Amino acid sequence: MRIVFLGAPGSGKGTQASLLKERLGLAHISTGDLLRAQVAAGTELGRAAKEVMARGELVSDAIVLGMLEARMAEPDVANGYILDGYPRNSAQAVALDALLDRLGMPVDRAVLLEVEDEVLLVRIAERARKEGRADDNPESLRTRLTVYQEQTAPVIEHYAGKGNLRRVPGIGTVEDIHARIRDALA
């Protein structure tokens, strides 16, 4: 199975992707983790990304897609994958589809974790307390939610138009949400 997880910051994408990875034996691909690993490994794409980040700029879609293409060639991806938090905008969704179609690995399901903003604020505050992430504060979250609504929400329509979007309420216990995701994938 090939899955894309969508949802606002704090919706539980990473948590649920990790659980699903274990249950289904899929590769969990987080573009943030992938980017950090490529930079640490000193790969050609990692060096290019490091130069861009050193200038304070965002890493281009071309670099991210290159990293994704390299990752898709790794053996653990043969059983399927979970993309966590990517694509983030419509252009990335179209480019990702083209890449995955070319590789013969198109997305089977896009899972949207739906969570109200008030709940996200509580979750982010708790994550900040536990993990100390600098971007996990109420002001930053409000900005990230605005960006999400403006840029990422259209990705939801992209997958809905393809007929492979599954909306899952992201409220309740981790286990309850996970059960709903498994049902949505069945």
What is the rounded (10 degree) CA torsion for 64, 20, 144, 97? Answer: 40
Report the catalytic residues: 13, 88, 127, 133, 144
Sign of torsion over alpha carbons 58, 130, 11, 168: positive
Name 155's Cβ contacts closer than 8 Å, sequence gap at least 6.
6, 87, 88, 89, 90, 92, 93
Closest CA to 156 of 100, 114, 102: 114
Tokens of 163: 């007929």
**CA torsion sign, 157 to 163 to 164 to 167?**
positive
Phi, psi dihedrals of residue 184, rounded to the nearest 5°? -70, -25
